[in-house]
Amino acid sequence: MEKRRLGRTELEVPALCLGTMMYGDQISGDDAVLQMDACFDRGINFLDTAEMYTVPPKPETQGESERIVGRWLAARKNRDKIILATKVAGRSPAAYMRPEGGETRLTPDQIRFAIERSLKNLQTDYVDLYQLHWPDRPVQLFGAARAGYVYSGEKGVPIEETLGALGDLVKEGKVRHVGLSNETPYGVMRFLAAAKELDLPRVVSIQNAYNFLNRTFETGLAEIAMEEQVGLLAYSPIAQGVLTGKYLDGKNPAGSRKALFDRVQRYETPGADEAVRGYVALAEKFGVDPAAFAMAFVTSRPFVTSNIFGARTLDQLETIFASLNVEWTQDMENAVNELHGRKQNPCP
């Protein structure tokens, strides 16, 4: 398994990372164990979760992903061999996430509560990477940007205050490194500036969506990733399964995310179907499974530190593994970029 350096740290992570977002609802605890075992056997020892998971988020299953991972770590007694990442929720109205109710915010008190609960769920005394799941200040997230940019002017918890709280956790040994998620170029640079000015932990990564249908990371953030060594932990590389082509022509396979939860609207925008059809056709032209083709593209990007994937079945997991054997050629690059030029970012 290829290893890549995490930011400017000495920690090396595999090129693929197992995302556990679906553990506890769409994926049962028993099936999750089979997945984690299979990935570990393949050298994928990087696991990503979050305090809000499973998804779709709801009070009944909040934290279940972490608890499943924690039980696996305890049973396998392999914590020292695992690179473990989790996240604290940004600003949201999910009052059930906090004992006092109200909004989730990136305040020192809430960050403290969240990490202590996550450590208990994960049955460990530290996490290797602790990420801010999304910003505290209002930004357009999860596809909202396609409606046009809107600046509210509303401020969030000061970045210096949030980073200071993370710095305390690093000093205490509860967190080794800190990262961002669903961030903007402005946000990343503000965190880097605060770290330098106040001698606080430097963010090592950013976890944003990146795939054939959404290459917006390449505008602004990719340059930061390369110049500042804040690499991308790419999520949604197969666009929630859309890039497999399984939803084309109105199909809705049993057991799929769309069939169960109807939560793939981010990839159901005008022009998306036509673009998906084009990428599926390119995969077939090159003799590669569409999911493996989409995965190989993301993994091959120089600004990607690790490619976070999810799989519902072991067969799907084997397709993910197969993507590592896809040699990304210049012909593939040219064909993908030609299609991208005609169908740019239909699902930002």
* 53 is known as an active-site residue: yes
**Strands 46-48 and 205-207, how do they pair?**
unpaired
Q: Token pair of 223, please? A: 């340059």
Class of the 3-207 domain?
Answer: alpha beta
Quickly state the pLDDT bin for 275 (edges 50, 70, 90): very high
CB atoms within 10 A of CB 334: 10
Residue 19 predicted with pLDDT over 90? yes
Residue 327 predicted with pLDDT over 90? yes
Rounded to an integer, the average pLDDT of 93-116 is 96
Residue 150 predicted with pLDDT over 90? no
Residue ranges of the domains in the chain? Answer: 3-207
Residue 144 predicted with pLDDT over 80? no
Q: Is the pTM of this model over 0.85?
A: yes
Query: In whole angstroms, what separates CA 189 from the centre of its chain?
Result: 20
C-alpha 36/C-alpha 70 separation (Å) is 11
Residue 225 predicted with pLDDT over 80? yes
Q: Token pair of 105, please? A: 């915010």
Residue with tokens 């939860």: 261
Name beta bridge partners: 180: 132, 206
What letter does residue 243 receive in the DSSP assignment? G
Amino acid 343: pLDDT: 92
Sign of the CA dihedral with 138 first, then 347, 324, and 77 last = positive
C-alpha 212/C-alpha 257 separation (Å) is 19
Residue 296 vs residues 135, 175, 260, 299, 309: alpha-carbon distances, Å:
29, 31, 27, 5, 12
3-state secondary structure of 233: strand
Q: Which residues contact 329 (CB under 8 A, 6 or more apart)?
A: 286
Amino acid 257: pLDDT: 84
Query: Choosing from 53, 210, 267, 279, which is the catalytic residue?
Result: 53
Query: In whole angstroms, what separates CA 243 from the centre of its chain?
Result: 17
Q: Token pair of 334, please? A: 């040219």
Q: Token pair of 261, please? A: 């939860």
CB atoms within 10 A of CB 148: 7
Amino acid 167: pLDDT: 98
Amino acid 261: pLDDT: 85
Q: Token pair of 173, please? A: 């040994």
Query: In whole angstroms, what separates CA 87 from the centre of its chain?
Result: 10
Q: List alpha helices for 23-63, DSSP H.
A: 29-41
Q: End-to-end alpha-carbon separation of the chain, Å? A: 30
> Using an 8 Å Cβ cutoff, are 78 and 69 in contact?
no
Q: Which H or E element spans position 207?
A: strand 205-207
Rounded to an integer, the average pLDDT of 81-108 is 96
In tens, the pLDDT along 35-67 reads: 999 999 999 999 999 999 999 999 999 999 999
